[in-house]
Amino acid sequence: MIDKISNIKPKRNKKLKGLTLEKLKTMFENEDLLTEKLLIYQQICYLIELTKNQLFEPS
């Protein structure tokens, strides 16, 4: 299980598409199932990576 958690990569999840980071954070905090938490975490990482790429994209 530790390997699974440590190897998580940012991934877009269709079911979580369109949710803000604030909403995802709330969902993550309220979720009890580890598998669902991992899906939410992947979406959060995806959004952060997307934002980072847009901010630091070479002109």
Q: Read off the tokens for 23.
A: 């909403």
Q: Which of 45, 35, 44, 39 is nearest to 15 (CA)?
A: 39
pLDDT, tens digit (0-9, with 9 covering 90-100), for 1-45: 677 677 778 889 899 999 999 999 999 999 999 999 999 999 999
Q: Could you tell me how far CA 37 lies from the centroid of its own chain?
A: 9
pLDDT greater than 70 at residue 55: yes
Report field, pTM of the whole predicted structure over 0.95 = no
Domain boundaries, the chain: 2-55
Decide which of 59 and 20 is more confident: 20
